[in-house]
Amino acid sequence: MGGQFHIGPGGMWWKNPAVVQRLALTPEQTKKMDDIFQQSRLQLIDLHADVERQEVLLEPLLSASTLDSAKASAQIDKVADARANLEKADAKMLLGIRGVLTPDQWTKLHSHSADAGAAVGPPAPGGPGGGRGRGMRGGPPAPGSSSNVIGPIDQQ
């Protein structure tokens, strides 16, 4: 996956005591964010696996001594579709987490992330799903890879 939308420092930032204090998060808000993350996790893992599966199917088509452009092109489309599905699911999870924050909390999180050098917006390739690994991350690259600022699945 190429880019992803990031809304805060990496990892499950809503569990970081400094962030909780800075944003004045309530226990109810952190619980809601945990619930959103947990509800999305299995779907993100499955979608990440589909990306990997489609990429594995593409490799022999590209490395064959005789290139079948039609088959390779069709498989490239499948890889792109799988990546898009993963990005959409990850973005929806992030949108849900963003919706838990008040406008003031969002402003504080957004400005802190920018000040701290954290990405707020699409990450560089190789980030969550960018390149060949995702992260929220830790373990096999999974949905929300290490580049995902919200702390997607691989960086727990």
Could you report the average pLDDT of every consecutive run of 10 residues in the chain (156 residues)?
50 89 96 94 96 98 96 98 97 94 91 60 38 36 39 36
Residue 148 identity: N
DSSP alpha helices (H): ranges in 13-68?
17-23, 27-63
Contacts of 116 (CB under 8 A, 6+ apart): 9
**Parent domain of 121:** 1-156
**Is the distance from CB of 122 to CB of 132 less than 8 angstroms?**
no
Instruction: Provide the whole-model pTM.
Output: 0.66
Distance from C-alpha of 39 to C-alpha of 55, rounded to nearest angstrom: 26
pLDDT for residue 69:
96
pLDDT for residue 111:
84
pLDDT for residue 68:
96
pLDDT for residue 149:
37
Burial class (CB in 10 A: 0-12, 13-18, 19+), 124: exposed
pLDDT for residue 109:
87
Reported as a single tens digit per residue, the pLDDT across 58-102 is: 999 999 999 999 999 999 999 999 999 999 999 999 999 999 999
pLDDT for residue 29:
97
pLDDT for residue 150:
38
Count of domains forming the chain = 1
Distance from C-alpha of 36 to C-alpha of 56, rounded to nearest angstrom: 30
DSSP-derived 3-state class of residue 155: strand
